[in-house]
Amino acid sequence: MQDILLLSGPNLDLLGTRSPEIYGAATLEEHVAAARARAALAGLGLRHVHSNFEGDLIEAVHGARVDAVAIIINAGALTHSSWALADALAVFTGPKIELHLSNPAAREPFRHLSTLAGVVDGSLAGLGALGYPLAVDAVVALLAQR
């Protein structure tokens, strides 16, 4: 079975309790389960990696070059600062979707920059829990075009 790699960055393990008025009440595990269920409907597996450490996420992207067909990434605050993560993603040749529960463009000015935007195929932002299954749908559509 082909796998999608779902990456979750710093502080996303606090979903459900951290600022639910911004990020919603669902936990990270619930978002992952929704994405995994949508991937299964398309005949794909989904492997999830969460880390609060930038290097772990970069290593996961490197590993995906041999064991994943696509990457969905919610990099959390690293979205706005990690050129190293962007460089790692740039080398991955499969579909890449950037995902955010909230809409960074409608938030604090430092969140308006995405270091990842230039190396991903597309971004989903501000759709809350809907974003996770929609990101899988985007990956499936992009894979079908290849």
Q: What is the pLDDT, as a whole number, of residue 107?
A: 74
Q: What is the pLDDT, as a whole number, of residue 106?
A: 61
Q: Count of domains in the chain?
A: 1
Q: pTM (2 decimals)? A: 0.94
**Residue 47: other Cβ atoms inside 10 A:** 17
DSSP per residue over 57-68, as a string?
HHHHHHHHHHH-
Which CATH number fits the domain that encloses residue 9?
Answer: 3.40.50.9100
Structure tokens at 29: 């595990």
Print the domain residue range for 102.
3-144
Closest CA to 99 of 130, 71, 119, 124: 124
Rounded-to-integer distance, Cα 5 and Cα 17, Å: 25
Average pLDDT, the chain: 93
DSSP per residue over 9-30, as a string?
-TTGGGTTTS-HHHH-S--HHH
Catalytic residues: 23, 100
pLDDT digits (tens, 9 = 90+) for 94-121: 999 999 998 887 677 766 679 999 999 9
pLDDT digits (tens, 9 = 90+) for 75-86: 999 999 899 999
Q: Angle at Cα 79 formed by Cα 131 and Cα 129, nearest 5°? A: 15
pLDDT at residue 2 greater than cutoff 80? yes
